[in-house]
Amino acid sequence: MGALLTGCNEGGDADPSSAQAQSAPRATEVEALTVTAQDIPITNELAGRTSAYQSSEVRPQVGGVIQSRDFTEGSVVEEGQVLYHIDPRTYQADVDSAKASLERAQATLHTSQLQAKRYKTLVARKMVSQQDYDDAIATVGEDTADVTSAKAALKSAQINLDYTTVKAAISGRIGKSSVTKGALVTASQDTALATIQQLDPIYVDVTQSANDILRIKRELASNGKAASAPDMAMVELIFDDGSRYEHQGKLQFTDVSVDQSTGMVTLRALFPNPDELLLPGMFVKARLVESVARNAILVPQKAISRDSDGKATALVINDENKVERRELVTGQAIDHQWIVLQGLKTGDRVITSGLQKIQEGAPVTVAEDETTGSNGGNESPAA
């Protein structure tokens, strides 16, 4: 009996904690990302073209024969620099004639003034009639007007003479000349002699759908996003080969009207262009920050799934190192991440791998995910 009891006792004295350990589910190792709430820029990528900051078409303001071209095509010219000389001889003759007319008018005025002065003394002595004196005063007025007219004619002739020296209206790079020495040009002709363009800085004009702008404004109101101030919104350029332009630009303005034929709105950005890498008419892509999502969180897309109702969900590790399912409100997709507007907070650990091996309530061990998931430098168009 003692042996039997002993045998039974040995079989029934198993360690309770050991039994529980054998029956408890084994913890699954997963990767998790600790998220942080932050202000996340919302970017949009739009197609656009470059245009000169200033452009001046050089046209003659008087007619004549080109005597010389005084610049190198493709060079940088300064405001006021001489570009062409037009034969000035006809205009110089007009100036000389106007000077002579002015001198004649001034001499006539001087004579009439002397006569009026004499008549003033004589009329007081009643040696001439009042009518003669009045006529003398009137003649002085007419001669004064003739002098004024002659001065204006001389000034006009001098302006036309000055126009025979064609100067640059702005500083910039000048293109090819459409005329050579000996060409006959006319005042305000349709064909420009050359074109000067200021390339530093340079404009980039892009267009955006009016519907997109309306959607963005609604999102700003409903999701706690802050709009970028027009003079603070930064823009970057992307070339066709995918490379980025080294200088950032600033959004200058958004057009106040919609193009009725296209339904698009024009936006203009200004970029530094010290090396003149950007030329007018180039096709580029502009990436601009349209708004900022306040206190939002970035989560890798692989960590978020959709339930049968289409709601976004993620698996989170709670304080007991067990899996917990969270419903989320997501916003824009950025790169391979979602902006999470609701459902997560700073410090939450979101499972990013091993999702197929676990279920809600299961214990897990954590290997920290190296993915940053909270980088605000986004490179994706708006969703």
- The CATH number of 88-163 is 1.10.287.470
Q: Are 285 and 45 in contact (CB under 8 A)?
A: yes
Torsion of CA 305, 309, 311, 313, to 10 degrees: -40
DSSP label at 164? T
**Per the structure block, which two tokens stand in for 277?**
């890498």
Please name which of 230, 228, 214, 239 lies closest in space to residue 267, comparing C-alpha atoms: 230
In this structure, are residues 349 and 303 in contact, taking their beta carbons and an 8 Å threshold?
A: no
User: Could you identify the residue written with the tokens 């998931």?
Assistant: 373
Report residue 171: phi and psi, to 5°.
Answer: -90, 145
Distance of CA 36 to the CA centre of its chain: 32
Structure token digits, residue 309: 């109702």
| Residue 363 DSSP one-character state | B
Does residue 260 come out as left (phi exceeding 0), alpha (psi in the -120 to 50 range) or beta?
alpha
CB-based contacts of 40: which residues, under 8 Å, 6+ apart? 292, 293, 296, 298, 334, 339, 376, 378
The fold of the 43-53+198-293 domain, in CATH, is Elongation Factor Tu (Ef-tu); domain 3 (2.40.30)
pLDDT tens for the chain, residues 1 to 383: 344 334 444 445 555 555 555 555 688 888 889 999 888 877 888 899 999 999 999 999 999 999 999 999 999 999 999 999 999 999 999 999 999 999 999 999 999 999 999 989 998 888 889 999 899 999 999 999 999 999 999 999 999 999 999 999 999 999 999 999 999 999 989 999 999 999 999 999 998 887 776 766 665 555 555 555 544 578 899 988 888 999 999 888 776 677 777 788 888 899 999 999 999 999 999 988 777 777 889 999 999 988 888 899 999 999 888 999 999 988 878 878 888 888 899 999 999 887 888 888 888 888 766 655 554 444 444 43
Residues of the chain with CATH 2.40.50.100: 61-87+165-191
CB-CB contact of 174 with 84 (8 Å): no
Q: Could you give the maximum distance between any two Cα atoms of the chain, in Å?
A: 177
- Kind plus residue range of the DSSP H or E element containing 294: strand 283-300
CATH classification number, 27-38+295-368, choose in 3.40.50.970, 1.10.357.10, 2.40.420.20, 2.70.98.60 = 2.40.420.20
Q: How many CA atoms lie less than 13 Å away from 306 in the CB half-sphere? A: 6
Q: How far apart are CA 298 and CA 348, in angstroms?
A: 12
61-87+165-191: CATH topology is OB fold (Dihydrolipoamide Acetyltransferase, E2P) (2.40.50)
For CATH 2.40.420.20, the residue range(s) in the chain are 27-38+295-368
Peptide bond into 272 cis (omega under 30): no
Q: Where in the chain is the domain with CATH 1.10.287.470?
A: 88-163
Match 């897990």 to its residue by tokens: 364
Which residue, chain included where needed, has tokens 């409100």? 329
What would the DSSP string read from start to end of 222-291? HTTEEEPPTTT-EEEEE-TTSPBPSS-EEEEEE-SS--TTT-EEEEEEEE--TT--S-TT-EEEEEEEEE
Whole-model pTM over 0.85: no
Structural contact between residues 358 and 314, judged by C-beta atoms closer than 8 angstroms: no
